[in-house]
Amino acid sequence: MPQTPKINYQLALDKTLSEITAANTRPSLLLHSCCAPCSSYVLEYLTKYFDITVYYYNPNISPEKEYTHRVDEIRRLISEMCPSVSFIEGKYEPERFYEMAKGLESEPERGARCLKCYRMRLEESAKAALSLGSDYFTTTLSISPQKDSAVLNVIGAELSEKYNIPYLYSDFKKRGGYKRSIELSAEFGLYRQNFCGCIFSKAEAERRNQKT
């Protein structure tokens, strides 16, 4: 597991946004999106500061019907909420996810399998940001209470150094971000899934539901 220093990533984001505002600039940002509900608040928040391209790369999601539904929802959200935002759909390559997950099928959510999945998706996002010439890249994943924002930010920082593109530190669940995403999901009638996306997280969610 990556080392996770105790950093307030919301304050780190505040600092970057203050610098952008003071410089009177509007940088470009590639925003990796995991789903429409998580993206809703992040887009509301960051479109004030950045020209955003949403990048949807999530080969972990299955079955394909579920994947397609989530893609359709993020497209709809963008068209209804922030039509100036661009959208790019990455490759849907579930076979790559399953190859990556070999031997880690029994890992709990937030375990080693998830960490490798975060890195795979963030690395593709960094590559896409580099290809587009974006000024920054980041992910909506940190808005979820089920995701470790410190781990995500450490991975983002490592990839930032590898690809020489700034990673926008974040912990979007802070300051009511997750709550606001629920409100926006209701406002736009978004599909809110009850599992992260892969068959392993779905099975874990079903086991939790059986206990309640």
The residue-averaged pLDDT of 95-102 equals: 96
Tell me the per-residue pLDDT of 168-187, one tens digit each, with 9 for 90 and over. Answer: 999 999 999 999 999 999 99
The rounded distance, in Å, linking the Cα atoms of 131 and 125 is: 10
Q: Bigger pLDDT: 146 or 56?
A: 56
Report which of 73, 66, 84, 89 is spatially closest to residue 39, judged by C-alpha positions: 73
Cis preceding linkage at 59, omega within 30 = no
pLDDT score of 207 more than 90: no
What pLDDT shows up at residue 195? 75
Domain 27-211 has CATH 3.40.50.620: yes
Tell me the per-residue pLDDT of 50-70, one tens digit each, with 9 for 90 and over. Answer: 999 999 999 999 999 999 999
DSSP-derived 3-state class of residue 87: strand
Whether the Cβ atoms of residue 44 and residue 188 lie closer than 8 Å to each other: no
Cα torsion angle, 158, 160, 161, 162, sign: positive
Share of the chain above pLDDT 70, in %: 94
What pLDDT shows up at residue 209? 60
Helix (H) or strand (E) holding 52: strand 51-56
Tell me the per-residue pLDDT of 101-132, one tens digit each, with 9 for 90 and over. Answer: 999 998 988 899 999 999 999 999 999 999 99
What pLDDT shows up at residue 123? 98
pLDDT score of 204 more than 90: no
Give the residue ranges of DSSP H helices in the chain: 9-23, 36-46, 64-81, 94-101, 112-132, 149-163, 177-188, 199-211
What pLDDT shows up at residue 40? 98
The residue-averaged pLDDT of 9-26 equals: 98
Question: Whole-structure pTM over 0.85, yes or no?
Answer: yes
pLDDT band at 151 (very low <50, low <70, confident <90, very high): very high
The residue-averaged pLDDT of 90-109 equals: 94
